[in-house]
Structure 1
Amino acid sequence: MNLPVMNKRSLGLAVVLIGLLALFGNAALRSGPLAPVEVTEVIVQNRALSPALFGVGTIEARYSQRVGPISTGRLLGLDVDVGDFVQAGQVLGRMDPVDLDERIASVRASQRRMQANQRVATALIEESTARHDYAQAQGQRYELLSTSGSISREAVEAKRQELRIAVAGLQSAQANAEAAVQAVEEAQAGLAALHQQRQQLELRAPVDGLVVARKVEPGTTIMAGQTILEIIDSRQVWVNVRFDQRRAGGLRSGLPARIELRSRTAQALSGQVLRIEPLADAVTEEILAKVIFDVMPQPLPPLGELGEVTVGLPGTEALPVIPSASVQRREGVLGVWLIVDGTLRYAPVTLGASDLDGDVQVLAGLRQGDRVVRYSQQALTPRSRIRIVERLTADAS
Structure 2
Amino acid sequence: MRRLLLAAGAALLVLGAAGGVWALRHRPLDVPVAREERDVPVRVFGLGTIEAQIASRIGFEVAGTLAEVLVDHGDRVPAGTVLARLAPAAQQARVARAEAGVQNAEAQQGRVAAAHDRAAAMAQQKRATAQRRRELASRGTTSQEAAELAETEAVAAAADLAVARADLALARAGLAEAQAGLLAERTALAKHILTAPFDAQVVARLREPGAALSPGEAVFSLVDPRTLWALAHVDEGRAGAIREGQPAEVRLRSLPGEVFPGRVVRIGLESDRVTEERRIYVRCLRCPPQPILGEQVQVEVETGRLPAARLVPELAVEGFDGASGRVWVIEDGRLRQREVRFVARTLDARLALDPAVPATLPVAARVLPGFREGRAARPAP
Partners of 1:309 and 1:356 in 2: CA distance: 12
**AA matched with 1:241:** A
Match of 1:278 among 269, 273, 279: 269
User: What is residue 71 of structure 2 aligned with on the other side?
Assistant: 80
- Paired with 1:190 and 1:380, the residues of 2 have a C-alpha distance of 90
CA distance in 1, matches of 2:38, 2:214: 65
Deviation for aligned residue 1:187: 0.8
Question: CA distance change for structure 1 residues 283 and 386 in 2, over 3 Å: closer, same or farther?
Answer: farther
- Of residues 63-72 and 217-226 in structure 1, the stretch that sits farther from structure 2 once superposed is 217-226
Aligned-partner SS, 1:228: strand
Specify whether residues 133 and 356 from structure 1 end up closer, same or farther in structure 2 by C-alpha distance, changes over 3 A only: closer
1:307 paired to 2:292: no
Shift of 1:194: 1.3
1:233 and 2:224 matched: yes
CA RMSD of aligned residues (A): 4.3
- Alignment-derived partner of residue 322 in structure 1: 311
Does the residue aligned with 1:301 lie in a helix, a strand or coil? Answer: coil
- CA 1:155–1:76: 2 relative to 1, 3 Å: same
Match of 1:60 in 2: 51
Residue range with higher mean Cα deviation, 278-287 or 38-47: 38-47
Taking structure 2 as the reference length, what is the TM-score of the superposition? 0.78
Residue of structure 1 equivalent to 2:60: 69
Query: Is 1:118 aligned to residue 72 of structure 2?
Result: no
Name the residue aligned to 2:359.
Answer: 368
Q: Does the 8 Å contact 2:326/2:338 carry over to 1?
A: yes
Cα offset, 1:235, TM superposition: 0.7
**Quick check: 1:104 aligned with 2:89?**
no
**How many equivalent residue pairs?**
378
Give the deviation of 1:11 after TM superposition: 8.1
AA of the residue aligned to 1:247: R
C-alpha contact (below 8 Å) 1:69/1:201 kept by paired residues: yes
Counterpart code for 1:201? H
Distance 1:350 1:153, change over 3 A: closer
Q: In the TM superposition, what are the counterparts of 1:167-186 in structure 2 within 5 Å?
A: 167-186=158-177
How far residue 87 of structure 1 moved from its aligned partner, in angstroms, is: 1.9
Counterpart of 1:51 in structure 2 is 42
Q: How does 1:133-152 map to 2 (within 5 A)?
A: 133-142=124-133, 152=143
Look up the equivalent residue of 2:280 and give its one-letter code.
Answer: A
Amino acid at match of 1:302: I
Contact kept, 8 Å, 1:44 with 1:368, in 2: the verdict is: no
Q: CA deviation at 1:63?
A: 1.8
Q: In the TM superposition, what whole-angstrom CA distance separates every residue of 1:11-60 from its partner, at most 9, and x where no partner exists? A: 899599869968x959x969xx9999997613544866332222222211
- 8 Å CA contact 1:42–1:322 kept in 2: the answer is no
Deviations 1:60-118 (A, max 9, x none): 11122332333455544432233221222222223455743222222222221221122
Instruction: Name the aligned partner's letter for residue 315 of structure 1.
Output: R
Note the C-alpha offset of 1:346. 4.0
Aligned position for 1:393: none
Amino acid at match of 2:318: R
Does residue 181 of structure 2 align to residue 190 of structure 1? yes
Q: Deviations over 1:154-173 (max 9, x none)?
A: 55555555444444443333
1 CA distance for matches of 2:365 and 2:357?
A: 14
Cα 1:129–1:38 change in 2 (3 A) is same
Deviation at 1:198, TM superposition (A): 1.8
Aligned residues of 2:362 and 2:379 also touching (Cα < 8 A) = no
Instruction: Look up the SS of the partner of 1:291 in the other structure.
Output: strand
Contact 2:335–2:374 (8 Å) recurs in 1:
yes
Choose 1 or 2 for highest CA Rg: 1
Q: Residue 254 of structure 1: SS of its match in structure 2? A: coil
What amino acid is the match of 1:300? Q
Q: Are 2:79 and 2:199, in contact at CA under 8 Å, matched by a contact in 1?
A: yes
Report SS of the residue matched to 1:284: coil
Gaps spanning 5+ residues in structure 2: where?
A: none
Out of 252, 275, 278, the residue aligned to residue 243 of structure 2 is 252
Task: Quickly say closer, same or farther: Cα 1:119–1:49, change in 2 above 3 A.
Answer: same
1:302-354 residue CA offsets vs partner (Å, 9 max, x unmatched)? 111122222222233655x1341651437999433445687654444433313
Write the distance in 1 (CA, Å) between the matches of 2:111 and 2:162.
Answer: 15
How high is the TM-score relative to the length of structure 1? 0.75
The amino acid that maps onto 1:267 is E
Identity among equivalent positions (%) equals 30
In the superposition, relative to structure 1, how do residues 264 and 153 fare at CA in structure 2: closer, same or farther (>3 Å)?
same
Provide the residue aligned with 1:289 in structure 2: 280
Query: 2:291 is aligned with what amino acid?
Result: P
**Distance in 2 between the 1:155 and 1:247 partners?**
106
Q: Distance between the aligned counterparts of 1:330 and 1:358, measured in 2?
A: 15
Structure 1: any 5+ residue segments left out of the alignment? 1-6, 391-397
Give yes or no for contact 2:311–2:351 (8 Å, CA) kept in 1: yes
